[in-house]
Amino acid sequence: MSFFSRFTGRKRAREAARRLGLDPSAENYLALAREHVVAGASAEVLQVCEEGLQVHPGNAELTRLAERARTLNLDSRVRQLQENLRISPRPALWKELCEILLQTGRIQRAEEYAEKWFEVMHDGESVYYRARCRAELFFQERRAEDGRVAWQLAQHAGQGLAGDSRPIQLQFEIARRCGAWQEARAAIARLLEINPGNPDLEARFRIVLANCHETLPLEEALQQVERTGLFIDDAPEGSQSPANVSVRPALQSLGAERDVHAAIFLRGGTALVQGPHGATADRTARLVREVVIRTRNTCRRMALGRPLQVQMEGDFGVCHLIFGEHGTAALWCAGAIQHSHIELLEDLAGTVRGVA
């Protein structure tokens, strides 16, 4: 950045800050944050966004910008750690790197680093991180093979880290989530041996004991998770409501756009359709539901992981579906779908940014 750009950038930031002082609206917070983005000051961006979110909680734009700033900060720390590891590889750096990568959802990268760490150090901590990465993959993709490997690695890590409860905690989590209650009981009993009298663990032990009558062997439980795509405590789709966006106004604003034929939001058995009416609306909702079900099954069978987006193009135009935690949002347009539409659909569906 040249001196002149830096100078004008500072002037614009001061101007935006002055406007924010006069009117602390979400738009003015955004304007100031954007000026900091242009200046490349990610720490300031995060600070302004967090302040803005305290005044305007749930503002989608501010949340998005704060997330991006946070990711940028973590990315720069990742680069720094990689550089340090090249000079002097040591467990604390490997550990921090794996933690950051897991935190930002880059599980495969984290696993690669954990494997490199294991090759260099051969310690229990690296095995634990390998197990954790695999377990995260299992929780995300629901492949039996991942669960099996995570379980075995956690067992090895437990042997290397005597007295450490983390590998056993991981085993407990794997067993509990897929309904292998006997294995979960054994794991929590060992946790209680390490932390005797812990009220939280005792409460969990009682819950596990109560479920032991409907236990499945671990292998069978893992296979069942792969087949159904569901864990024991998975809430039915759509039980969580969109936190940042209210569905109907967002659908209405999408439906009012030029070239948009229909905007659909699907949550569990309920569908909201903006655009078509009557039987056509029913058929549109049914179409989206069928595509969602078929795509989920196909992704699982093809080991593609969790579906994030589907785009269909043809004589009918373009139909774009986004899968998220809150449900599925879809848009049927005559022409190309704009980036702003996709962002709104992601907010509606509750997509975890960074994964998509």
Partner 1 sequence: MKAILEPLAMIPGVRMTALISEDGVPIVTARGAGRSQENEDPQNIDHDDVLNSFTAMAAGWLGEISRAVGQLSWSSPTRVVLKATQGEMVLQKAPGAVVLVVLERGVTAEELRVPMEGAIARMHRVLRNISQARTPQTTTDQPPPGIVQVATTPPATAATPVNPAQNPLSDSTGDQ
Min. distance of Cβ 43 from partner 1 in angstroms? 26
Min. distance of Cβ 92 from partner 1 in angstroms? 28
Residue 92 CB contacts under 8 Å (≥ 6 apart), including other chains: none
Measured CA to CA in angstroms, residue 315 lies from 200, 312, 334, 336 at distances of 58, 10, 9, 13
Q: What single-letter amino acid sits at 275? A: G
- Cβ proximity to partner 1: between 209 and 312 the closer is 312
- Cβ proximity to partner 1: between 162 and 279 the closer is 279
Residue 64 CB contacts under 8 Å (≥ 6 apart), including other chains: 343, 353
Q: What single-letter amino acid sits at 99? A: E
Min. distance of Cβ 310 from partner 1 in angstroms? 5
- Cβ proximity to partner 1: between 258 and 301 the closer is 301
Residues that bind partner 1 (CB under 8 A): 108, 140-141, 145, 280, 283-284, 286-287, 290-291, 294-295, 298-299, 301-316, 319, 355-356
Min. distance of Cβ 268 from partner 1 in angstroms? 19
Write b or e for each residue in 103-125: b if 16 or more Cβ atoms lie within 10 A of its Cβ, otherwise e.
Answer: ebbbbebbbebbeebbeeeeebb
Min. distance of Cβ 40 from partner 1 in angstroms? 23
DSSP string, 173-228: HHHHHHT-HHHHHHHHHHHHHHSTT-HHHHHHHHHHHHHGGG---HHHHHHHHHHH
Q: What single-letter amino acid sits at 202? A: E
Rounded Cα distance between 175 and 194, Å, is 19
Min. distance of Cβ 22 from partner 1 in angstroms? 41
Min. distance of Cβ 15 from partner 1 in angstroms? 36
- Cβ proximity to partner 1: between 146 and 183 the closer is 146
Contact status, residue 107 vs residue 140, Cβ threshold 8 Å: yes
Longest dimension (CA), the chain: 73
Measured CA to CA in angstroms, residue 94 lies from 75, 116, 154, 245 at distances of 15, 9, 18, 38
- Cβ proximity to partner 1: between 53 and 72 the closer is 72
Min. distance of Cβ 225 from partner 1 in angstroms? 16
Q: What does the angle CA 354 – CA 345 – CA 76 come to, to the nearest 5 degrees?
A: 20
- Cβ proximity to partner 1: between 13 and 263 the closer is 263
- Cβ proximity to partner 1: between 48 and 310 the closer is 310
- Cβ proximity to partner 1: between 107 and 127 the closer is 107
Helix axes 60-87, 42-55, angle to 10 degrees: 150
Q: Which of the 8 DSSP states describes residue 241?
A: P
